[in-house]
Amino acid sequence: MTQDEKEYFKVLGGRVALLRKDLGLTQVQLAETLGISQQMVASYEVGRRRIPVSMLPPLSHALKVQTDALLGNETKAKSKRGPAPKWQQQIEAIAQLPKAQQRFVSQVLDTVLAQSDR
């Protein structure tokens, strides 16, 4: 695998993890839906293994997104109108952080959002 391919599958895996978590699914639940092992889902999410093309339709269905959105093409289509919004770029950057830092960012956001509900 070339370095570009490694980076692509790492970003794709991060997107899968983010979408899975947004739905409140565990790796085990997603794996059961797809008929694969939890370890395979974990390998996809960190970019250690390539997600096969044949897995894209069931994966996008399980994550309730269009295949284009799963592949990151949705953002590129919108880029004709300008760059992705800053918050979207930040979310993608957060998805690449280690889990401990992701939890910290999430806690900070929860605190800010809770204050805005007052």
Per residue in 43-88, pLDDT tens? 999 999 999 999 999 999 999 999 888 888 764 444 455 666 777 7
Give the pair of three-digit tokens for residue 81. 């109108």
Contact 24, 63 (CB under 8 A): no
Give the Cα separation of 7 and 86 in Å (integer).
Answer: 21
Domain map of the chain by residue range? Answer: 3-82, 85-118
pTM: 0.61
CB-based contacts of 65: which residues, under 8 Å, 6+ apart? 19
> Using one digit for the tens of pLDDT, what is the confidence trace for 2-38?
888 888 899 999 999 999 999 999 999 999 999 999 9
The domain over range 3-82 is classified in CATH as 3.40.50.300: no
The whole-number average pLDDT for the span 104-112 is 88
Give me the pLDDT at residue 85, please. Answer: 76
